[in-house]
Each structure stands twice: as C-alpha cells, then as structure tokens.
Amino acid sequence: MTPRRRRRAAQAVVAVVVAALAVGLVLLFGPRALVLSGYTGEPGTVAVSECGPRVCQGEFTPDDALEPATRVTVGDVYGIAPGQRITVYRDGATVNQRAGWRLVLMLSALLIGVAALGVIAVSLWVRAVRREPWGTWEVLGRGFTTALGVGIPLLVLALVLYLLR
C-alpha cells in the first residue's frame, strides 16, 4: 500500500470514529437529559419536609398510590419551601420537576457537540475521497464554527425559556 493510500485510509477511519463518537454522545446523554429535566420517570408528588442550600428532602407519592412510597431528594430547590407539595418525576432516589429550559439547555449542548463532530467527520471523509491532505486546522475550524453557529441561538433560546419560567 502506498503512503498516499494509507493516508486516505487513515482519514476515512478517523472520520468513522468521529461519527461514532457523535452517535455515542446522543445515545449516552440524550436519555439522561430527559430524566434530569423531568420529561421521563415515574410521575408523582413530593411532600417537602426539609430544605438545605442545595437539595430538599421529602416523601414521594406515585400518582397511582395513596400513601408515600419512599423518601427522595429534590435536586432543584428553586422556589421550594418545606411544607409544599410539588409535582415531580422520579428516577431512582432523585426526583426532578419538569423544566423546559433545562431540557433545551442540555439538548442544545448535546446538539452542539454532535454538530461539531459531524462536520469534522464529513470534512475528513470528503478530504479522503478527494485525495486531499488532512487539513487538520481547517477541519477543526469548520467544526468549531458550526458549533458556534448552532450553539449560540440554542443557548439564547434556553436563556429566554429560563427567564420566562
């Protein structure tokens, strides 16, 4: 195999690895973003009994039960005081309130990474097909500018949703 063919093969392999990394990010962090923003999990209410500076504790009652099932920790304490009953979604011992701004923020961070990795992978693949040299800084620059172009509007949207809550 000639050095030129080896270089093209290496570019193609790196492009596939970068694309697989982007898919892995979605598979790992997409479902977690839904859980942390309260869009999946067991629905119910928490009777808040005590609050600290970072977490609140209380008894979780599933929607289909009459009595509390377990003691849980509420991760987001904004606007919560002892004695309140709040609607939450449980995942394990942690419960989360539904928050659209949090979901937009988490998914936009995920989308920024996936878009940047996708552009890098496609750029490397196109360079390999066209038999061009790596052009590492150009490829990374394209990925970075794509991340900015996708990321800034999404982050502004998350900020607006946060302020409107």
**Per-residue pLDDT tens digits for 16-37:** 888 888 888 888 888 888 888 8
Closest CA relative to residue 25, chosen from 108, 140, 143, 139: 108
pLDDT of 153 reads: 85
In sequence order, the β-bridge partners of residue 51 are 56
Work out the number of other CB atoms within 10 angstroms of the CB of residue 108.
20
pLDDT of 128 reads: 78
Q: Is 102 left (phi over 0), alpha (psi -120 to 50) or beta?
A: alpha
Strands 56-62 and 42-51: antiparallel
pLDDT of 157 reads: 83
Question: Which positions ≥6 away from 165 have C-beta within 8 Å?
Answer: 99, 100, 101
> DSSP 3-state assignment of 79?
coil
For 30, the enclosing helix (H) or strand (E) is helix 3-36
In sequence order, the β-bridge partners of residue 61 are 45
- For the chain, 165 residues long, give each residue's pLDDT as a single digit of tens: 687 777 777 777 888 888 888 888 888 888 888 888 888 888 999 999 898 888 888 989 888 877 777 888 887 777 788 888 988 898 887 888 888 888 888 888 888 888 888 888 888 888 777 777 767 778 778 888 888 787 788 888 888 887 876
pLDDT of 64 reads: 81
Closest CA relative to residue 116, chosen from 143, 94, 87: 143
